[in-house]
Amino acid sequence: MKISIEDAIQKLNDGQVVAIPTETVYGLGAIATNASAVSKIFQIKNRPSNNPLICHIDNIDNLSQFVHIEDEHRDFFQFWPGPLTILFKKKDIIPSIVTAGSDLCAFRIPDHIIFSEILKKLKKPIAAPSANPSGKLSPVNAEMIIEYFGNTIDVVDGGDCNIGLESTVIQVLSKKTIKILRHGILTKEFFSSYNINVIEDNHILPVEIENQKGLLSPGLLPKHYAPKKPLVLLESKLIHYFYNTKNPLETLLEILKNHSVDPPTLDINNLKNRSIGFLIYGPINSFNNIINLSYDSNLREISKNLFHSLHKMEKTFDIIISFKVENRDIGVAINDRLSRGAEWKVF
Ligand code: TXA
Ligand code: MG
């Protein structure tokens, strides 16, 4: 059900969970210092208990109550409010359920008028993961949440999220060096323009923190953000194969065969005669069943439309074919989400 800001504050104070808009995606929030309220988030999302939550505040002055701020963190506060999440060593006031037992706690100041107003009036931090059942597409409007949870979750409707991709999660290693744990619209290129060095982590994450159970950033699990229908991710130039085909499924199977990709989990015969949708970008009109994420191939526009379009497609088609974007700047985050949602990949 859609509720007002005042009702949301009251429910949060009562230890309940409500969905709240941010500039990135909608969050499923509870008061971060209330362990039993936070535990409801894990239940509702069916979230593994080893996946920690991000805490949200509205003012940097409040941060030191909850975490230890080191000198090297301070330069990064210039990017707040905004789509940046920073890890800190936590203080005891943050219950360990929030951080999944880790000593580190993620914080961010969101840039959204509704979320800020709630935080200001509440005067408490809000722990909030994306407001989707675990592993599913992050919601970027109130309707997606209602479709996921029906009337069991109350949501403050803030319209469409401006950014549409989850925040960039970083660990600050020194004043000028960070590690990106989850890609977002604050990119390596963006940080480089501030002379901040991003350590590339070419390992397939998740990384395990030394001496600690749990995953450093389970948002980096290989399978995540998956639509309900199988998603195929192809190298962008492969789109040409589909321009004149009468039978896209056959074309797809041919591509997979030529690239020696074994469809791992899908029963091909079950897909015969099923409808195929194309998630494309660029100035293309030449075939049917498409959603165009951005006619100009604008990466910001593609990000904004990505989850919403995938959500529309999972309702309309039996199989979704998507194409990698250029792998630079925000394109890295877009490819990351597509890749983690995809059942088959060719590139
Ligand atoms: O944009 C966003 O970040 C949204 C809005 C609601 O703020 N939130 C969001 O939360 O995307 P969630 O839970 O879906 O993703 C949080 C990510 C996960 O990859 C999680 O593993 C990582 O942040 N994370 C949170 N706390 C962490 C910690 N203490 N150590 C390492 N990774 C952490
Ligand atoms: Mg999430």
Which pLDDT score is estimated for 133?
Answer: 95
CA atoms lying within 13 Å on the CB side of residue 259: 15
Residue keyed to tokens 């630079």: 328
Min mean pLDDT across 5-14, 126-135, 223-232 is at: 223-232
Instruction: Name the DSSP class of 77.
Output: G
The atom of ligand 1 lying closest to the CA of 29 is 6
Residue 347's pLDDT is: 77
Spatial CA neighbour of 69 closest among 172, 217, 168: 172
The pLDDT score that the predictor gives to residue 206 is 37
Tell me the C-alpha distance between 276 and 204, whole Å. 30
| pLDDT above 80 for 71 | yes
C-alpha 197/C-alpha 194 separation (Å) is 9
77 C-alpha to ligand 1 centroid (Å):
18
Query: What is the pLDDT averaged over residues 100-117?
Result: 98
8 A C-beta contact, residue 288 and residue 280:
no
pLDDT at 234 over 50: yes
- State the pLDDT at residue 274: 80
Query: Which ligand is nearest the CA of 165, by number?
Result: 1
The answer, yes or no, to whether any atom of ligand 1 lies below 6 A from the CB of 198, is no
As a whole number of angstroms, the distance between CA 186 and CA 170 comes to: 10
Residue 330 tokens read as 């925000």
What per-residue confidence (pLDDT) applies to 269? 66
Q: How confident is the model at residue 183 (pLDDT cuts 50, 70, 90)?
A: very high
Mean pLDDT score, 271-278 = 82
187 lines ligand 1 (CB under 6 A): no
Q: Which residues pair with 84 in a beta bridge?
A: 168
Nearest to 100 by CA among 221, 212, 222, 220: 212
pLDDT over 60 (residue 216):
no
Confidence bin at 271 (pLDDT 50/70/90): low
pLDDT in the model for residue 257: 82
- How much of the chain, in percent, has pLDDT values that exceed 90? 76
Mean pLDDT of 172-179: 96
pTM beyond 0.85:
yes
Report the 10 Å Cβ neighbour count for 222. 9
Contact 92, 103 (CB under 8 A): no
CB-ligand 1 contact for 100 (6 Å cutoff): no
Among 52, 54, 48, which residue's Cα sits nearest to residue 99? 52
Place of tokens 């100041």: 109
pLDDT in tens, 145-175: 999 999 999 999 999 999 999 999 999 999 9
Expressed in percent and rounded to 5, the helix, strand and coil fractions of the chain are 35, 20, 45
* 184 band by pLDDT with thresholds 50, 70 and 90: very high
The predicted pLDDT at position 211 comes to: 28
Compute the average pLDDT of residues 96-112.
Answer: 97
Give the separation between CA 42 and CA 189, rounded to whole angstroms: 34
Q: Is the CB of 105 under 6 A from ligand 1?
A: yes
Report residue 146 as tokens. 């209602």
Residue 178 burial (CB < 10 Å; 0-12/13-18/19+)? buried
Name the residue type at position 33: T
Burial 188-204 (b: 16+ CB within 10 A, else e): bebbeeeebebeeeeee
Q: What does the radius of gyration of the chain's CA atoms come to, in whole angstroms? A: 20
Query: Tell me: the pLDDT tens digits for 25-58?
Result: 999 999 999 999 999 999 999 999 999 999 999 9
Kindly report the average pLDDT of the chain as a whole number.
Answer: 90
Q: Looking at this protein, which amino acid is placed at residue 329? A: D
Distance, in Å, from the CA atom of 298 to the CA atom of 27, rounded to the nearest integer, reads 26
> Residue 221: nearest ligand to its CA?
1
CA of 129 from ligand 2 middle (Å) equals: 6
Q: Is 218 touching ligand 1 by the criterion CB < 6 Å? A: yes
Residue with tokens 């505040």: 57
Q: Is the pLDDT of residue 189 over 70?
A: yes
With a 6 A CB cut-off, is 86 part of the ligand 1 pocket? no
Write the pLDDT tens digit of every residue in 289-343.
Answer: 999 999 999 999 999 999 999 999 999 999 999 999 999 999 999 999 999 999 8
Checking if the pLDDT of 213 tops 90, the result is no
Categorize the per-residue pLDDT at 254 as very low, low, confident or very high, splitting at 50, 70 and 90. Answer: confident
Rounded Cα gap, residues 46 and 33, in angstroms: 20
The C-alpha atoms of residue 139 and residue 81 are separated, in whole angstroms, by 20
Q: Ligand 2 centroid vs 69 CA: distance in angstroms? A: 25
Q: Within 10 Å of residue 295's Cβ, how many Cβ atoms? A: 13
Q: Are 325 and 297 in contact (CB under 8 A)?
A: yes
Tens digits of per-residue pLDDT, 115-146? 999 999 999 999 999 999 998 999 999 999 99
**Number of residues that make up the chain:** 347
Least confident stretch, 17-26, 270-279, 287-296: 270-279
pLDDT at 230 over 90: no
